[in-house]
Amino acid sequence: MKKWIIPTLLICMIASIPPSIAQSRFQAGGSLTLGFPQNEFADNVDNIGFGLTGQFLFCFPQSPLSVGASMNFLIYGSETYEDQLTQGAPVYVDVTTTNNIIMTHLLLRLQPPRGSVRPYVDGLLGFNYLWTRTRIENQVDEEIAGTTNFDDITFGWGGGVGISFRVFERRENANYYDGPKAVFIEAGVRYLRGGDAEYLKEGSIQQTGDDFVYDVLQSITDIMTYHLGATIAF
């Protein structure tokens, strides 16, 4: 009889553990993002960028390793003025020029697969696309014309750290509910190195008579980004 005591106790202990979520295989998240130009980029651009970041991750089973993709979109400059659509007609439009950057990366993340608080470390490799676009909108914010004034592309890479706080968890015995396994609030920071690129900033487009002159800048395009958002595990 004694030889059954230890296995029986182990079975009882395992059975008494509250049900918990299994490790998620996928994660998808989005966040509000602020971008602060660094180094030579900061010498040319003194605006804070604002925009969004999205990411998707595949989580290896029983491992802290995840791989996926991340995309950051930031506006680092914007100008709007009212202009007359045609001479001799009292029709006015809004002319808006925005300076934008998209940073698209392959994402490698190390993060504990379980727990309500999960710090993480990111590694990123990809490219940056910078462009300036002018659009014309009527008085009800409908675009009636637009053009890309200038663009360039360069390599990008970097790293980041952050932390996730679980605010929702679906227990394994809740089979009646077909939804996300967990929801996290996430905050993080990334330092993203950008290669040498040409770009415009606020005030780079000047009109001289009927012609437009572009003051094209060139530098590396390093940027520090801060993120606050949510991640869904499923």
pLDDT digits 0-9 by tens, 67-114: 999 999 999 999 998 887 766 667 788 899 999 999 999 999 999 998
Task: Encode pLDDT of 144-190 as tens digits.
Answer: 889 999 999 999 999 999 999 999 988 766 555 567 889 999 999 99
Q: Which ranges constitute the DSSP H helices of the chain?
A: 5-16, 39-44
Mean pLDDT of the chain: 88
Quick count: other Cβ atoms within 10 Å of Cβ 105?
Answer: 23
Residue 1 included in any domain: no
| Weakest mean pLDDT among 54-58, 93-97, 123-127 | 93-97
CA 37 distance to own-chain centroid: 16
Average pLDDT over every residue of 223-230? 98
Q: Is residue 4 part of a domain?
A: no
Q: What is the pLDDT of residue 10?
A: 39
Establish if 124 belongs to a structural domain: no
Instruction: Domain count for the chain, please give it.
Output: 1
If one counts every other C-beta atom within 10 angstroms of the C-beta of residue 32, the result is: 12
What pLDDT is recorded for position 15? 39
Tell whether 139 is covered by a domain. yes
What is the C-alpha separation between 209 and 92, in angstroms, rounded?
Answer: 20
pTM: 0.84
Tell whether 6 is covered by a domain: no
Range of the domain at 75: 24-113+131-185+194-233
Quick check: is 19 in a domain? no
pLDDT at position 5: 45
Residue 66, in any domain of the structure: yes
Q: Is there a domain that residue 11 lies in?
A: no
User: In the chain, which ranges are E strands?
Assistant: 26-37, 49-59, 65-84, 92-110, 117-137, 143-169, 182-194, 196-199, 205-208, 211-214, 217-220, 223-233
